[in-house]
Amino acid sequence: MHALDGHVRILPIHVANKIAAGEVVERPASVAKELIENSIDAGARNIRIAIASGGKKLVGVYDDGSGMTRDDALLSLERQATSKILDVDDIENISTLGFRGEAIPSIASVSRFTLTTRKRDVDEGFSLQVNAGSLDATGSAGCPPGTSVEVRDLFCNVPARRKFLKSDTTEESHIKHIFTVAALANPSIGFSLTVDGRETSRLAPSENTADRIRELFGRDFFESLIPVESPSPVKGVRVSGFIERPNQSVPTRREQYVFVNGRAASAPSVAYALREAYPRKQGDVKPAAIIFITLPPSQVDVNVHPMKREVRFRDNIAVKAAIAGAIEAAFAIPAATGTPQFQTDAPEIFPKFPSEAPAENETRTPLFSDAPAKEPVSDTRNVASPSTAPSFFNRQSASPSENEARPIQVEFATDPESTSSSPWKWFNFLSVTESGYLLIETDSGIVTVWPRAAYERIAYEKILTASASSGETLSQALLIPETVKLPLADFARLKGALDAVRAAGFQLEEFGSDTFKVEGVPQILGDAAPSLILLTLARDLSDAGSKRASVRWKEELVAKSIARTFAGSRLRLTEESAVKLVEDLASCRMPYVCPRGRPTMIFTSERELSRRFGRD
């Protein structure tokens, strides 16, 4: 450690390069992104990516682009060297992907770096090798036209940075995400990915984005999308792409891919416009979206983030208006027919009833059906009905008088072996409000129950308890196994948590480089589509971040994800199912909040009611 004396100094070049590398090279995926973008800018028609040990040992990018001369290759190692801009005015009109001059020297300063390149009009190529920032060797090379870059032993000279890298599976999933984004943005380019010596994906050049989406995500995913297109440009801003139909039985949590002039990027105004313009059938959802925004380069600043993750628009209002117009047009109602161009078919989770009084000859829709609750019937397969949990209550249906109906009263059974601690000694079930809340009277006050949060808590505890118990069966077998194709990054995330997924009741195995074969699903999920469940699981694993304090964090996360899917698929409550829901909630170990920390119930004591009505 050197003492500081307060004097200003010029840093040695090797120190400056390491600092710059910290801005550009966050992890192996950052290296892959920079190199792929350089290949695209070089006019490559085919790009091959190879990684080993999640990119820690190797990130290689090989293209058939324009290649470089010997002098250009050597100059690319210098700080602030670039072929993309000439003067400051060019920064205002960036039309290429790579333009930051420090990318190549920064990568080379923290790895064992090899670059081999050849232009098409020469017979011989050129190769150079850099070892942790020091040029080791140069020379002629026999190679095909184009450029290949191999980055080995990333952070070999910065062990502190290397310690912060995640597992091979996690780093691999980040690289696969970069691969997916690049392939989506450039359907006319062929891409392939090799992981630890095995080719996991090969994408032929496509004529359009739709074909590339089908290749990357599968036919089922593509058929869940509808196209969006700006009816007309808004101040030069055009929007096109695809967005998910709002007809899933559970709230969607999928990735949104946004491209600005071909560059994958984000902006607060884009996220806001997507959220506000999307039809809200089940609350605040995040639909799958692949959106392309095109506008004059001078109207967007792409250099506001060190790794080019975020852009800034000169006219945010125009961008929002263009996005909203494209989405609204996709869900427009043609004036000629008066019928929607697209209709959602998702059932409402809980009943909603009109607030106005019924007409003189009109009978109000009954709050409950006389028929018992029915489980949804699958139209694609037949599965065994899930088993029901034992009840810890005694029901007493008070006998009504001739002119008076009494509510159902439920009392707890005395069970010395029970580990649950009920919030109440008894409760009377009263009603369901128009907005779907349950009202019950208890021994100490009035309780309002939120059914969705209650379902999540019940399912979460059941799954987590059963997954920790050896011998308890959580699965129900599918009569016909299903194959589920996932985006490469999601496949890698799920692969890293297979033990926890199987413990929760899934019967599945790898079936190729991006596909699982599913032979059974958790009993509690009934007929929910395996593809939707697994995708939700993968995205929840992606969002887990550093929330891994618990030893069983994977099991808990999987249980939360399944519980959320289960709660979102619940249909209209009958009186019988509403009472059963309250019973099951009261038997939970932690009945007061859902797994995500939201309250399942709000209690108003008799004392508080008396105070509010001035009866103290």
What are the start-end ranges of the E strands in 370-422?
A: 393-397, 408-412
Which SS3 state, helix, strand or coil, does residue 434 take?
Answer: coil
What pLDDT, on a 0 to 100 scale, did the predictor assign at position 411?
61
Q: Are 59 and 35 in contact (CB under 8 A)?
A: yes
What was the pLDDT predicted at 372? 36
pLDDT tens by residue, 106-148: 899 999 999 999 999 999 999 999 999 999 999 999 999 999 9
pLDDT value of position 102: 55
For domain 224-330, which CATH number applies: 3.40.50.970, 3.30.230.10, 3.90.226.10, 3.40.50.1470? 3.30.230.10
Query: Mean pLDDT score of the chain, rounded to an integer?
Result: 78
Q: Where are the beta strands (DSSP E) in 196-329?
A: 198-203, 225-229, 238-244, 256-260, 263-264, 289-294, 300-301, 312-313
Concatenating the DSSP letter of every residue in 128-197 gives EEEETTEEEEEEEE---SEEEEEEESTTTT-HHHHHT---HHHHHHHHHHHHHHHHHH-TTSEEEEEETT
- For position 274, what pLDDT does the model report? 87
Segment 546-570 shows an average pLDDT of: 76
Element (H, E) at 506: none
Least confident of 180-194, 215-229, 349-363, 542-556: 349-363
Structure token digits, residue 344: 């959602």
Least confident of 77-86, 214-223, 448-457: 77-86
106 vs 84, higher pLDDT:
106
Residues 485 and 517: their CA atoms lie apart, in Å, by 9
The C-alpha atoms of residue 176 and residue 616 are separated, in whole angstroms, by 65
- For 26, 51, 107, 453, 537, the CA distances from 179, given in Å and listed in that order, are 17, 11, 19, 37, 21
Mean pLDDT over residues 174-198, rounded?
A: 95
Short-list 530, 511, 526, CA closest to 476: 526
How confident is the model over 287-339, as pLDDT tens digits? Answer: 889 999 999 988 888 765 555 577 889 899 999 999 999 998 998 744 333 33
In this prediction, residue 517 carries a pLDDT of 93
Looking at the chain, the whole-number percentage of residues with pLDDT higher than 90 is 37
Beta bridge partners of 441: 428, 446
Q: How many CA atoms lie within 13 A of 581 on its CB side?
A: 30
Residue 238 CA, chain-centre distance (Å), reads 26
| CATH entry, 348-355+381-397+406-544+552-616, from 3.30.1540.20, 3.40.50.720, 2.170.190.11, 3.40.50.300 | 3.30.1540.20
Two structure tokens written together for 62: 């090989």
Asked if residue 386 has pLDDT above 60, the reply is no
pLDDT of residue 11: 58
Q: State mean pLDDT over 558-572.
A: 81
Give the long-range contacts of residues 186-191, CB within 8 A, separation 24 or more.
186/40, 186/262, 187/211, 187/212, 188/45, 189/40, 189/44, 189/45, 189/46, 189/47, 190/45, 190/46, 190/47, 191/46, 191/47, 191/48, 191/49
Fold of 13-205: Heat Shock Protein 90 (3.30.565)
CA 162, CA 166: separation in Å to the nearest integer?
Answer: 9
Strands (DSSP E) along 295-415, which ranges?
Answer: 300-301, 312-313, 393-397, 408-412
Q: How far apart are CA 606 and CA 447, in angstroms?
A: 11
Of the two residues 138 and 256, the one the predictor is more confident about is: 138
Classify the phi-psi angles of 382: left when phi > 0, otherwise alpha if psi is within -120 to 50, otherwise beta.
beta
Residue whose C-alpha is closest to residue 237's, from 261, 207, 256: 261
Q: Kindly state the average pLDDT of the residues 100-105.
A: 67
Contact yes or no for 331/324 (Cβ under 8 A)? no
pLDDT at 528: 75
In the chain, domain spans: 13-205, 224-330, 348-355+381-397+406-544+552-616
Q: Where are the alpha helices (DSSP H) in 296-441?
A: 316-330
- What pTM value is reported for the model? 0.66
pLDDT at 224: 85
Is 334 exposed, middle or buried, given 0-12, 13-18 or 19+ CB atoms closer than 10 A?
exposed
**What is the structure's pLDDT at 307?**
57
| Cβ proximity of 34 and 98 under 8 Å | yes
CA distance 313 to 296: 11
Q: What strands, in cross-sheet order, belong to the sheet with 515-522?
A: 475-485, 515-522, 507-510
Instruction: Assess whether pLDDT exceeds 90 at residue 258.
Output: yes
Give the per-residue pLDDT at 101: 45
Q: Position of tokens 């290749």?
A: 215
Provide the token pair at 49: 């990516």
* 308, amino acid identity: K
Average pLDDT of the residues in 579-587: 91
Distance (Å, whole) CA 326 – CA 103 = 36
Positive or negative CA dihedral for 240, 243, 246, 251?
Answer: negative
Q: Pairing relation of β-strands 46-52 and 190-195?
A: parallel
Length of the chain: 616
- Residue 337 confidence (pLDDT): 37
Tokens at residue 383, please?
């599965």
Distance CA 34, CA 149 (A): 11
Query: What is the mean pLDDT of the segment spanning 11-20?
Result: 60
pLDDT of residue 294: 94
